[in-house]
Structure 1
């Protein structure tokens, strides 16, 4: 008899949030710079902080330094120098989309860390089910429109 839940609500929420960040980053990176993969990586990179041990404390916690403009700039510069400017720009756009979406939650993001410790948030919540569904519809519509218009798929 299976008495434990295999997947709890938080895990489902987290998977949906990461998938949403990945999709938004991919669509933005592909549409703006023809570099969807780099946009996708940028879209999820800020959540690499889930891999940090909680005992490390702030700023190495979820929504710590990885959710700042400093981290966005470092990640984009590293890709631009190591690979190419288009990929760096796509990664930056995906990363920025992640910060923008997370700024719509009550917790906000420490955008100006380490200059300021404050978290910044706006009053809409894009992590709600209806808002997430709207983001998915917009992204999938943009991808379909690109195909219908004959836009070549970037490699």
Structure 2
């Protein structure tokens, strides 16, 4: 017949468990600050999004705001600019994209104002398409921020944004 034997815990067993627990807490106390320092600081988190009151922007005007250290163009487009942007044959564009895919509301175009060629800042209401012109290397963008001529390979980037109200937009 088999007999079961039970071993009583000894003082040495208690010391092993206690030492292991103290070592685990100590390791966590050392690792926590190392992991925590990789989180973005408060100033970076503050730049993660910005709210802009667009109610005061007259039709036909472009304003520039700063978001995450980059310029962002907010254009209050006229009916003529909207029609020109919608009537473009997208098959002729170097970076084909419809106007509807670039805007949430047709009268408002919001793009990051950095040329996709070498990172210059294009000038608004310039060039033969009435959009933006980058004087550094001659890239021309239309009223939808799409590249039409020049060395830039892509359209002006559209940041993530949402309309909070009819006159307030949150970028980021």
Question: Smaller-chain TM-score range?
Answer: under 0.3
TM-score, normalising length from structure 2? 0.24
More relative contact order in 1 or in 2 (CA 8 Å, sep 6+)?
1
TM-score, normalising length from structure 1? 0.26
Q: Which structure is larger by alpha-carbon Rg, 1 or 2? A: 2
